[in-house]
Amino acid sequence: MLNIATDSSRIFMQAIVDYHKTDNVDTPICNPYEQRTIEYYLYLKCWIDTVQWHLEDIIRDPDIDPVHALAIKRRIDRSNQERTDLVELIDSYFLTLYKDVEVLPDAKINTESPAWAVDRLSILNLKIYHMQEQVDRVDTDAEHHKSVAEKLKVLKEQKQDLTTSIAQLLDDIEHGRRYMKVYKQMKMYNDPSLNPILYQNKK
């Protein structure tokens, strides 16, 4: 059985490395895992995160064409929705996995669901990959190298702490000490019936 706490980072880094074989936001994904498995969704989640990371870099080009910038912004908006949908799908996996657990009378609820914690772990792996790129640069001075090396050390510590926390959370849920309660994201800006700019323009 997949160990979410430890194996997620392996799958995330696999997706990150695969993306950087071309380092192109338009590269088609080639997910190596069987469809509708948790591994498949974790790889897909991190691929989307990685593409969006680079879209965020592109849109910050001070010389970017405004029309192109708007297209990138719209693409980032779609990506954010896809990321949210995937987090909810991964939480559905956990809900199914632990549906038969007998919750203890004094069980506590967590501040975030397991999938949102895994989402943060995906982003941390991305930060570590790109901070390592900065450490490995040979066109910078000693001050830059020292600064990024220190940041990389902190990021790796954060990753270890988050991995431990996820493992503890899942163990608590498995044994009924904590329980899951998932709320669907209620994003309003994408909904034509809730975003006033969209529904007022229909009149």
Flag whether 195 is in a domain. Answer: no
Q: Is residue 41 part of a domain?
A: yes
Distance, in Å, from the CA atom of 142 to the CA atom of 137, rounded to the nearest integer, reads: 11
Is residue 48 included in any domain, yes or no? yes
What is the predicted pLDDT for the residue at 142? 96
Task: State yes or no: pLDDT of 45 exceeds 90.
Answer: yes
Residue 34, sorted as left (phi over 0), alpha (psi -120 to 50) or beta, turns out to be beta
What proportion of the chain, given as a percentage, has pLDDT over 70?
94
Residue 198 domain flag: no
Q: Is residue 138 part of a domain?
A: yes
Rounded to an integer, what distance in angstroms lies between the CA atom of residue 48 and that of residue 44?
A: 6
pLDDT of residue 187: 66
| In-domain check, residue 167 | yes
Residue 190: the pLDDT is 67
Closest CA to 48 of 25, 14, 23: 25
- What is the per-residue pLDDT for 111? 87
Least confident of 101-105, 180-184, 192-196: 192-196
Residue 156 CA to residue 161 CA, distance in Å, equals 9
| All residues at 6 or more sequence positions from 46 whose CB lies less than 8 Å from its CB, including other chains | 11, 12, 15, 16, 122, 125, 126
200 lies in a domain?
no
Kindly give, in sequence order, each residue whose CB lies less than 8 Å from that of residue 166, ignoring residues fewer than 6 positions away.
4, 5, 8, 114, 117, 118, 121
Number of folded domains in the chain? 1
| Pick from 7-21, 47-61, 173-187: least confident | 173-187
Q: What is the pLDDT of residues 136-190, one digit of tens each?
A: 999 999 999 999 999 999 999 999 999 999 999 999 999 999 999 887 766 666 6
Q: How confident is the prediction for the chain on average, in pLDDT?
A: 93
Name the residue range of residue 156's domain: 4-190
Q: pLDDT tens digits, residue range 20-43?
A: 999 999 999 999 999 999 999 999
- Overall residue count recorded for the chain in this entry: 203
Domain contains 157: yes
Report the percent of the chain where pLDDT is more than 90. Answer: 86
DSSP string, 120-176: HHHHHHHHHHHHHHHHH-SSS-HHHHHHHHHHHHHHHHHHHHHHHHHHHHHHHHHTT
